[in-house]
């Protein structure tokens, strides 16, 4: 997931770079007016987890989970749309208070920020155009191919470490990555399985392509699933999100949000 990385609407074809750097939502309905105001960063270019719809409103699994968590803790929350590579730096600069944007809890990220408990999990996987014949997905099998990854993701770090002998193109965002595979700019991509699933299953462009090889799980690079990132000093805020996560799990709200986006559990 990112860092790992289901991507959607070709990431519904909506790029963060084409939109304002900050997009604020109205407070979640039902929250007390005098509750805490929490600023939550979301990329807005990672469907179905987070994306911007035709009305320029943030939507997606991450957004629905964030709203449910804020409601459960009676926190007044607003969303700030943030380009991916600036996510952690701007969190540390106090430009927002939390990141709920499919951020995988890798060892490298844990050195910089504090995370809540996992709120979903996903392996990484290789994807090729249908009809591509390769004997396997080890580095020696890909030497004659062009590999694609998305910038500042766990998949990019993993590829640099284990596929350094493979020609690799780094794309700015997942929609660009998928387009690069579809149009032949690259032969194979490495992406979060949940992120790319929707593109493969539910878009015309994604019908070109398919998974290849086994799922990749590596806690050092892909982390222990996606968590909510906060500044290391904000342990109380992390605790509130953890409490809220248990609340929506116990109530069945988490499962309802899950079912809205995926035909299988991602917990």
Q: What does the pLDDT look like over 174-216, one tens digit per residue?
A: 999 999 999 999 999 999 998 898 899 989 999 999 999 998 9
Going from N- to C-terminal start, the domains of the chain cover 11-121+224-261, 124-221
Structure tokens at 168: 């690799």
Q: Is 101 in contact with 216 (CB distance < 8 Å)? A: no
Identify the CA nearest to 218 among candidates 149, 134, 159: 159
119-158 in b/e form (b: 16+ CB < 10 A) is: bbbbbbbbbbbeeeebeebeeeebeebbbbbbebbbbbbb
CATH of domain 124-221: 3.40.190.10
In CATH, the architecture of 11-121+224-261 is 3-Layer(aba) Sandwich (3.40)
**Same fold yes or no, 11-121+224-261 and 124-221:** yes
Identify the band that residue 1 occupies on the pLDDT scale cut at 50, 70 and 90.
low
pLDDT digits (tens, 9 = 90+) for 61-114: 999 999 999 999 999 999 999 999 999 999 999 999 999 999 989 889 999 999
């Amino acid at each position: 997931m990112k860092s790992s990385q289901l991507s959607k609407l070709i990431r519904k074809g909506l790029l963060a770079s084409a939109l304002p750097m900050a997009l604020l939502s109205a407070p979640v309905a039902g929250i007390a007016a005098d509750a805490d105001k929490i600023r939550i960063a979301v990329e807005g270019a990672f469907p179905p987890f987070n994306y911007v719809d035709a009305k320029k409103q943030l939507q997606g699994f991450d957004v629905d989970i964030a709203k449910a968590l804020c409601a459960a803790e009676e926190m007044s929350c607003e969303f700030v749309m943030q380009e991916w590579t600036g996510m952690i730096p701007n969190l540390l600069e106090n430009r927002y208070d939390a990141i709920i944007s499919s951020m995988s809890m890798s060892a490298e990220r844990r050195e910089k920020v504090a995370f809540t408990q996992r709120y979903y999990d996903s392996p990484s996987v290789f994807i090729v155009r249908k009809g591509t014949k390769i004997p396997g997905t080890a580095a020696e099998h890909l030497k004659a191919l062009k590999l694609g990854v998305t910038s500042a993701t766990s998949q990019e770090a993993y590829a640099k470490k284990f596929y350094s002998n493979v020609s690799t193109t780094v794309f700015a965002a997942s929609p660009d990555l998928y387009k690069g595979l579809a149009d032949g700019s690259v032969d194979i991509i490495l992406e979060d399985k949940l992120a790319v699933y929707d593109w493969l299953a539910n878009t015309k462009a994604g019908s070109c392509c398919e998974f290849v090889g086994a799922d990749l799980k590596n806690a050092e690079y892909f982390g222990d699933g996606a968590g909510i990132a906060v500044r290391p000093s904000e342990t109380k805020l992390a605790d509130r999100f953890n409490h809220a996560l248990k609340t929506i799990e116990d109530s069945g709200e988490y499962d309802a949000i899950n079912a809205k986006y995926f035909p299988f559990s991602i917990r």
